[in-house]
Structure 1
Amino acid sequence: MLDYMRETLELMRENLTRTILTLIGLVVGVAAIISIQVAAAGMAAAVNGAFRGINVNTFFLFPKTTQGSTQRANLGLSDLTLLEQNVPGVETAIPFGQTRTIVNAGHQHVMLKFGGESYRRFSTAPVVAGHAITRTDVENASPVCVLSSKAYARLFPHALDPTTVLGQSVYVGPKRYVVAGVLGPATLSTASLGFDINNDVVIPYTTFYNDYQRGRPLFGIQVLGSRDATLATLEANAKRVLSDAHGGSIYQTFDFGFFSKQIDGFFGVVGTIVSAVGAISLLVAGIGIMNILFVSVSERTREIGIRRAIGASRATILIQFFVEAFVLAFSGSLVGMLAGLGIGELAQQLFIARISGTIAALPWTQVILLATLFATVVTLVFGTLPALRAASVDPIEALRYE
């Protein structure tokens, strides 16, 4: 067997240009499939990991316009108490209100996300100085704020310690808020998902409502459920309670599982398209390998005849060409998989690591096994006909072949 492989490698070296052209399609096809699978798997893991920085039993509830009607059911502050008292498992409900605005602190003028928060926190970022929003802050609509890690760094770039900014003032327009606490970084950043929980300035939701939403219906409600509650049950019960209270009005909910499914669906479509293109490349590459083997049989007809004449069996010739097909397929598969892993890792370094801060380990053992398996399949599918033709060469006719 080693002799067959040595001979095959020598033939590949002698016909290097032809070998490279034959394997290009195989390398491209395998690399495309592997790279998109690595990138998609890493992205899915990063997205799911990013949501761990937020309480998993959080969902958003909005009025839904019914078909044929332009009227939407309104939501008010009374609906917050309604949900907290009548939906088992709901810990707190707050108005969903936030905006991107200029926040001022001394000479610093920074665009940040500004919104309301409850004393039951939706973010899992740790408190590193002061305290988070308290029940008293909410009940009194106190003019206090809590800074996330990036907001603190941007508003107070010269502060040596977060405790030194406690009691200082930040302004949103003419409104003044006293810094009551500073948060550390959340476990994982969500900046690449379009929102960054490390870049917030939060005030009590009652303060936010009084300062910016008074007299207007709520845009939506953000609901926090207990850890042991089932999210689907919470959403169904919340919609039912509000519908009963508002004369059958219809409400819709969104949670982070919804966004995760949307992202998974997107990458699923991309993966399908790239895999289809890769499959076509693999088919073309397989046909190329089969053609090159037919050419090899034709060029070596006289050699095959001599081997048969001195005692080589059909099985020996068959094995020789199967080995040649396998070496070609394995070489292309291995190079393609290594290239695919490299591209996938690059994608993780450039994009995915920004979300999760880490990248997935590359499955080197699986690569070798998959390359071997794939090469075996290609050998059986595209190498059988050329090998059978070589084994069926009549030695007498072959010796006359010029």
Structure 2
Amino acid sequence: MKLTEAFQLAVKNIKGNKMRTFLTMLGIIIGIAAVIVIVGLGNGLEKYMRDQFADMGTNIVSVSIMGRGSSRSVSEAQMYELVEENSDYFEQISPMVSLSDGVKIGTETSKLTTVTGVSEGYFKMKGYTVSSGRGLQYVDIEKRRNVCVVGNYLNSTYYDGNAVGQTIRLNGRNFLIIGVMTQKTSGEMKKGETDDCVFLPYSTAARMSYNGTINSYSLTVVDETQVAMSVSIIEKYLYDIFSDEDAYRVISMAQMLESMNAQLNVMIGILAGIAAISLVVGGIGIMNIMLVSVTERTREIGIRKALGAKERSIMQQFVMEAATTSALGGLLGITVGYGLTSVATVIMTALIQDNMTVSPSIGAVMRAFGISTFIGIVFGYLPAKKAARLNPIDALHYD
């Protein structure tokens, strides 16, 4: 029997038992749809995280100095020298000083606004731009001026779009607003988010901080492929000073992203594996129905074998029927899965209040379809073998 003939007979038998076939395929449909949604969710989350880290800068290395167990310290001058001596790896550096006493504008106080002391090159490092006024300059750092650049949220909410030249109170001091950042968020600006921020000279912020020292730095690397080497250079430099690995912490955004993606992929793999269990259940359902089909068609098999049909042809027919049923279930599962990914996109976007697309890769879809067909062949083999080995005389007498 040719494969085309076996396929035609399989389609005919499927059409003759539509409801039973659909119920048989249900496990395959659910399993394939679940795998597609879970893989799509993983892809969507990975892309979302990459976009978020891209905003923070995957070429940025963050350094925190705690100085535990050592009286030694590292000055900003030493950190700048480190960058200059390793210019093949590092491009720019900015000391970072965070202030946490909140922002006061007139009679209103905002505790969620981030206030950070940075260098004049920080905006270039992060890709920030100034929409009005000017950014921080070296002279502001050198003279420890009480000037700042504010985010667009503060500009539009408290200053009616005319913040430049106005004052803002930080940690009990009045600061002159010299510039306004270009809006970073694509949608509506909200309190406590990216555009709700203030940047001032790090030298001024250090003087206002609790201990008056600078313990955090952001560095940009020349080539993102050399991030690991860049981190090693910083760690060696700091270890030579402190002789204590607990005295500092060096974090690469790119390495952090890869680590988070690895953990996410493990979680998605586990969930996909759990969802794939339904495929095995679906395969068992196919085997059960095919065994029933063999019993129902015992006389048909006996007649065919009496007319000279070989065991190979009988087996081929039943395997083809099982594979066709499973493949059809796989196609329906893919259709359902894509429909559910659209629903999942809407739900996830509403939950995180940001754009995120749940989109399975074509490779994952093709693998899911291949697995569904393979399951049909594997679980259809035993019933097919049983049918092929029926004694034609016993089969003809079967009632």
Q: TM-score, normalised by structure 2?
A: 0.81
Aligned residue pairs, count: 381
Q: 2:262 & 2:201 partners in 1: Cα distance? A: 36
Contact kept in structure 1, 2:100 and 2:114, CA below 8 Å: yes
Secondary structure, in 3 states, of the residue corresponding to 1:165? Answer: coil
Q: 2:108 & 2:335 partners in 1: Cα distance? A: 48
1:140 Cα shift? 1.7
Q: 2:62 & 2:369 partners in 1: Cα distance? A: 49
Deviation readout 1:221-251 (Å, 9 max, x if unpaired): 2232353483333332223333334466753
Structure 2 unmatched ranges of 5 or more: none
- Partner residue in 1 for 2:298: 301
1:236 partner letter? S
Contact kept in structure 2, 1:125 and 1:187, CA below 8 Å: no
Percent of counterpart pairs with the same letter?
26
Secondary structure, in 3 states, of the residue corresponding to 1:97? Answer: strand
- Partner residue in 1 for 2:172: 174
- Partner residue in 1 for 2:113: 112
- Partner residue in 2 for 1:48: 50
- Partner residue in 2 for 1:80: 76
Q: 1:71 & 1:275 partners in 2: Cα distance? A: 46
1:401 partner letter? Y
Q: 2:231 & 2:186 partners in 1: Cα distance? A: 26
Structure 1 unmatched ranges of 5 or more: none
1:223 partner letter? S
Is it true that 1:401 corresponds to 2:381 in the alignment? no
The 5 A counterparts of 1:232-311 are 232-246=228-242, 250-309=247-306
Q: 1:71 & 1:395 partners in 2: Cα distance? A: 88
Q: 2:133 & 2:72 partners in 1: Cα distance? A: 37
Secondary structure, in 3 states, of the residue corresponding to 2:250? Answer: strand
Deviates more, 1:380-389 or 1:314-323: 314-323
Secondary structure, in 3 states, of the residue corresponding to 2:103? Answer: strand
- Partner residue in 1 for 2:69: 71
Q: What root-mean-square deviation, in Å, do the aligned CA atoms of Structure 1 and Structure 2 show?
A: 3.3
Contact kept in structure 1, 2:320 and 2:377, CA below 8 Å: no
Which of 376, 379, 390 is 1:379 aligned to? Answer: 376
Which of 224, 230, 246 is 2:219 aligned to? Answer: 224
Q: 1:336 & 1:211 partners in 2: Cα distance? A: 61
- Partner residue in 1 for 2:40: 38
Deviates more, 1:222-231 or 1:142-151: 222-231
Q: 1:266 & 1:188 partners in 2: Cα distance? A: 29
The 5 A counterparts of 1:203-222 are 203-213=200-210, 215-218=211-214, 220-222=215-217
Is it true that 1:6 corresponds to 2:14 in the alignment? no
Deviation readout 1:283-322 (Å, 9 max, x if unpaired): 2221221111111111221233344445655444333322
1:267 Cα shift? 1.0
Contact kept in structure 1, 2:92 and 2:221, CA below 8 Å: no
1:366 Cα shift? 6.8
Q: 2:334 & 2:49 partners in 1: Cα distance? A: 25
Alpha-carbon distance change, 364 to 269 in structure 1, aligned in 2, over 3 angstroms: closer
Alpha-carbon distance change, 296 to 154 in structure 1, aligned in 2, over 3 angstroms: farther
1:272 Cα shift? 2.7
Contact kept in structure 1, 2:164 and 2:178, CA below 8 Å: yes
Q: 2:371 & 2:288 partners in 1: Cα distance? A: 19
Secondary structure, in 3 states, of the residue corresponding to 1:125? Answer: coil
Which of 193, 197, 202 is 2:199 aligned to? Answer: 202
Q: TM-score, normalised by structure 1?
A: 0.81
Structure 1 segments (4+ residues) deviating >6 Å: none
Q: 1:262 & 1:99 partners in 2: Cα distance? A: 29
